[in-house]
Chains A and B, each alone.
Chain A
């Protein structure tokens, strides 16, 4: 506890310092974006006292990282009010309702990767197009190209949001459990041993056959963990290049299903459903030794396993089968926002390098702004909790190698259907073929 609070304190201080610097630098160039909005609105989009509402889900961490307070110093006339819904699915339902009725929209609306495709395909005209804002070119240059592309229409002409964080994936593992099983446990060796899913599964079999591993412990948390990572390593995941669901013909689904059901049948998975209480408990109980680990998962592990497991967890600088992403969000401004210009100014400020660096240092949100990812404060970051792993470099390298398949309207539901059936392969020994056709039935219920 003392360590983490100190860390937060330092981060908050540096955030304030960074923001002070930005405020001086930022005021000069942002005068251009005001001209389009109104004659002398200033860098904050307005000179009037304004309360901006920001629609978020879960814990975005802007407030916790002190960014709202910091913005008050940049723009003293702007007050920010968060409008938070706990679950992103509930948030999305509410956002859809508001988009359909055209009322009740916040000035800024968060958009998650799970529904960004829907926003792009069905609601692009209801959001400010970031390709036509005065700072468009500068905004676009900040981000990883794929991050920008995911929030853009296929012709690239309309972009509905500016990126917040991304979720480059590596493998997090319990080095103490691997040691106990008599297996290599240093990240460099493991990076070589886990270069492909086949090798990863072979390693899992060695773990399972170890006579010294803790009884009841398995190598990986779930077949779902393998699947939902490997599926995005294909040319296609759940959708074809037109963004239409096409599960049966996807190379990503085919390969991922083969690896995941292989892992399940080889008995190297703990058979837990992700994000259930039993899975949460397993981070400390040792029911599994490794899992696919996007950056934000590190914070999740720390929260579930607690300080007693600091130094027992580690991060291997590898993802079997190639670099992919899991999660991440954008911030959009509805065309019907009450304070559009001020909202645009706020989103641009939040997406800028210094703020994304702060979000990484204080919240563990990996920057989607590639300049922020290259910043020494991110690139040289190490994690005390994860055995001093050079997480900034690990996830930065993965981010720069990332290939992203097309995404579509129903990816969340399709993935849920497939991973649910993998649980049946793991726990009820359903044959992979039966499970796959059951998943296709469930998917048909979604796609109609």
Chain B
């Protein structure tokens, strides 16, 4: 652009042209090219996100099977009606929530604790930081296969350990809660380190002066953690909660592989998640319309869950903000 336009300016031809119009249209010079630069992303976004969304919504309003795709018939919202009166859907919905809670809450708490510890000047700190990220770098399939072996009700290491210490063994595959805990353990194991690293990055962005000031005011490590680290990390924590919520709602690979690749989530669907149900409906049962309805329902559930997270965070933030301003107005109170 610049190279091309310079000769114009030098030759004086530019004077013949009205220089203003660009500016009058409210677009800065050179900004059109920006659209060209971002275009590839939006083309890909349109092809791989917007089109599938719209197509899925369209398919969800039809009775569609892949084998008879050209004969699919319009049935309006019948797939959604079917879904909301369907025990398999509500079972998967409940499982998704319970597995989501069992896996996300301990995971984020542990990540926070680990990050806090790694934030100290430990010997071999880099080693630990790399080590906690290893599970994240492990392939999901490999990890799940190993965990499935560990949790094997007959031959697994965990039941063997329980047996050795004379505790009753647990049916980690067939019973509802144990199997959900086992699946959650895989998720927790894989993602704790990743979240810890994100927290650690957030912690290192917190001004060290705050810690010094807090220490000077007599705050111990726990008090520092509560009153300096946690408030400083709030945006980071919110980010990890949102990401974990989305991840939990879409949980798929772990429970699939935990039952040897069957999408039923156990013989009594005891750990079938919404992701698995959708897959089972679409690819095992060949009911693409119903699966598409599940997909859109999942999408809406995720949107609602994320909005709820943000709303809670904003409300808290506002309340904290108000408190902070009060605190700022009466500084002596905080010191005590």
Residues of A whose CB lies within 8 Å of any CB of B are: 89, 93, 96-97, 99-100, 118, 122-123, 273, 275-278, 281, 409-410, 413, 416, 420-421, 423-424, 427-428, 438, 441-442, 445-446, 448
- Tell whether, in the assembled complex, residue A420 and residue B67 are in contact, meaning their CB atoms are under 8 Å apart: no
Write out the residue numbers on chain A whose beta carbons fall within 8 Å of the beta carbon of B87.
441
- CB within 8 Å of A: which B277-321 residues: 281, 283-287, 290
Q: List 24 A-B contacts (CB under 8 A).
A: A89-B283, A96-B286, A100-B66, A100-B69, A100-B70, A118-B67, A122-B67, A122-B68, A273-B267, A276-B260, A277-B148, A277-B260, A278-B152, A278-B155, A413-B285, A420-B264, A420-B267, A423-B267, A424-B268, A428-B174, A445-B285, A446-B285, A446-B287, A448-B287
B154 within 8 A of A: yes
Say which residue of A278, A409, A446 sits within 8 Å of B154 (CB atoms). Answer: A278
B63 within 8 A of A: yes
Q: Mark B83-104, 1 if CB is under 8 A from A, else 0.
A: 0001110000000000000000
Write out the residue numbers on chain B whose beta carbons fall within 8 Å of the beta carbon of A428.
174, 267-268
- Tell whether, in the assembled complex, residue A427 and residue B69 are in contact, meaning their CB atoms are under 8 Å apart: no
Write out the residue numbers on chain B whose beta carbons fall within 8 Å of the beta carbon of A427.
174, 267
Say which residue of A281, A423, A445 sits within 8 Å of B88 (CB atoms). Answer: A445
- Tell whether, in the assembled complex, residue A93 and residue B267 are in contact, meaning their CB atoms are under 8 Å apart: no
* A contacts with B: majority SS: helix
What is the CB-to-nearest-CB distance from B148 to chain A, in angstroms, rounded to a whole number? Answer: 8
A420 to B154, CA, bound (A): 19
Write out the residue numbers on chain A whose beta carbons fall within 8 Å of the beta carbon of B174.
427-428
What residue of chain A has the Cβ atom nearest to residue B264's Cβ? A420
Write out the residue numbers on chain A whose beta carbons fall within 8 Å of the beta carbon of B70.
100
Residues of B whose CB lies within 8 Å of any CB of A are: 63, 66-70, 86-88, 148-149, 152, 154-155, 174, 260, 264, 267-268, 281, 283-287, 290
- Tell whether, in the assembled complex, residue A97 and residue B152 are in contact, meaning their CB atoms are under 8 Å apart: no
What is the CB-to-nearest-CB distance from A330 to chain B, in angstroms, rounded to a whole number? Answer: 17
- Tell whether, in the assembled complex, residue A93 and residue B155 are in contact, meaning their CB atoms are under 8 Å apart: no
Closest 10 A-B residue pairs measured CB to CB?
A100-B69, A446-B285, A96-B66, A423-B267, A276-B260, A420-B267, A122-B67, A96-B67, A424-B267, A118-B67
A93 to B67, CA, bound (A): 9
A122 to B66, CA, bound (A): 11
Write out the residue numbers on chain A whose beta carbons fall within 8 Å of the beta carbon of B149.
277
- Tell whether, in the assembled complex, residue A97 and residue B267 are in contact, meaning their CB atoms are under 8 Å apart: no
A273 to B149, CA, bound (A): 15
Write out the residue numbers on chain B whose beta carbons fall within 8 Å of the beta carbon of A410.
286
What residue of chain A has the Cβ atom nearest to residue B149's Cβ? A277
- Tell whether, in the assembled complex, residue A421 and residue B267 are in contact, meaning their CB atoms are under 8 Å apart: yes
A441 to B69, CA, bound (A): 25
Write out the residue numbers on chain A whose beta carbons fall within 8 Å of the beta carbon of B260.
273, 275-277
- Tell whether, in the assembled complex, residue A93 and residue B66 are in contact, meaning their CB atoms are under 8 Å apart: yes
A438 to B260, CA, bound (A): 21
What residue of chain A has the Cβ atom nearest to residue B283's Cβ? A93
Contacts beyond the supplied A273-B267, A420-B267: 8 A-B pairs with Cβ under 8 Å: A100-B67, A122-B67, A122-B68, A277-B148, A281-B155, A424-B267, A446-B287, A448-B287
Write out the residue numbers on chain B whose beta carbons fall within 8 Å of the beta carbon of A96.
66-67, 69, 286
Write out the residue numbers on chain A whose beta carbons fall within 8 Å of the beta carbon of B290.
448
What residue of chain A has the Cβ atom nearest to residue B280's Cβ? A445
What is the CB-to-nearest-CB distance from B45 to chain A, in angstroms, rounded to a whole number? Answer: 24
What is the CB-to-nearest-CB distance from A410 to chain B, in angstroms, rounded to a whole number? Answer: 8
- Tell whether, in the assembled complex, residue B66 and residue A413 are in contact, meaning their CB atoms are under 8 Å apart: no
- Tell whether, in the assembled complex, residue A89 and residue B264 are in contact, meaning their CB atoms are under 8 Å apart: no
- Tell whether, in the assembled complex, residue A89 and residue B284 are in contact, meaning their CB atoms are under 8 Å apart: yes
What is the CB-to-nearest-CB distance from A438 to chain B, in angstroms, rounded to a whole number? Answer: 8
A441 to B85, CA, bound (A): 13
What is the CB-to-nearest-CB distance from B258 to chain A, in angstroms, rounded to a whole number? Answer: 11
Residue among B67, B68, B155, B174 having the largest count of chain A Cβ atoms under 10 Å = B67
What residue of chain A has the Cβ atom nearest to residue B285's Cβ? A446
What is the CB-to-nearest-CB distance from A277 to chain B, in angstroms, rounded to a whole number? Answer: 7
Write out the residue numbers on chain B whose beta carbons fall within 8 Å of the beta carbon of A278.
152, 154-155
A442 to B148, CA, bound (A): 25
Say which residue of B66, B281, B283 sits within 8 Å of A445 (CB atoms). Answer: B281
- Tell whether, in the assembled complex, residue B66 and residue A97 are in contact, meaning their CB atoms are under 8 Å apart: yes
A421 to B264, CA, bound (A): 12
